[in-house]
Amino acid sequence: MLLPGEAPQSRAELGKKALSKILNQPPEYDEGLVEKVLSEVASEGIKKFPDDFMREFREGEVVEIRLPGTPLHIDPASQTTVMSPKRHFRYEAKNPLEAKFIIYTYKIGQKEVKIPRDNRVLFQAVISYERYCDEIKQKCFAQFLKYTNDEEVSEILTREVEKRLDLRAKRNES
Residues 122 and 50 in one domain: yes
In a domain, 165, yes or no: yes
In a domain, 8, yes or no: no
Residues 132 and 169 in one domain: yes
**Dihedral sign, Cα of residue 16, residue 20, residue 21, residue 26:** negative
Lowest mean pLDDT of 24-28, 98-102, 139-143, name the range. 24-28
Lowest mean pLDDT of 7-16, 79-88, 100-109, 141-150, name the range. 7-16
Residue 91: strand pairing partners: 82
Q: How many CA atoms lie within 13 A of 107 on its CB side?
A: 6
Mean pLDDT of the chain: 83
Residue 107 above 50 pLDDT? yes
Residues 89 and 139 in one domain: no
Residues 134 and 145 in one domain: yes
Q: What is the pTM of this model?
A: 0.78
In angstroms, the Cα distances linking 138 to 41, 117, 127 are 10, 32, 16
Higher pLDDT, 160 or 10: 160
Lowest mean pLDDT of 55-59, 110-114, 122-126, name the range. 55-59
Residue 161 above 50 pLDDT? yes
Question: In the chain, how many domains are there?
Answer: 2
| Amino acid of residue 35 | E
- Burial group, residue 127, by CB count within 10 angstroms (0-12, 13-18, 19+): middle
pLDDT in tens, 18-57: 545 555 555 555 668 999 999 999 888 889 999 899 876 6
In a domain, 49, yes or no: yes
Share of the chain above pLDDT 70, in %: 77
Residues 50 and 122 in one domain: yes
> Of 101, 117, 133, which one is at a domain's C-terminal end?
117
Residues 91 and 165 in one domain: no
Nearest Cα to Cα of residue 165 among 72, 38, 22, 6: 38
**Dihedral sign, Cα of residue 86, residue 109, residue 167, residue 124:** positive
Residues 155 and 73 in one domain: no
Residue 132: domain span:
35-56+118-174
Residues 129 and 154 in one domain: yes
Residues 51 and 126 in one domain: yes
> Of 117, 139, 161, which one is at a domain's C-terminal end?
117
Residues 128 and 45 in one domain: yes
What CA–CA distance (Å, rounded) separates 25 from 145? 16
pLDDT of residue 20: 53
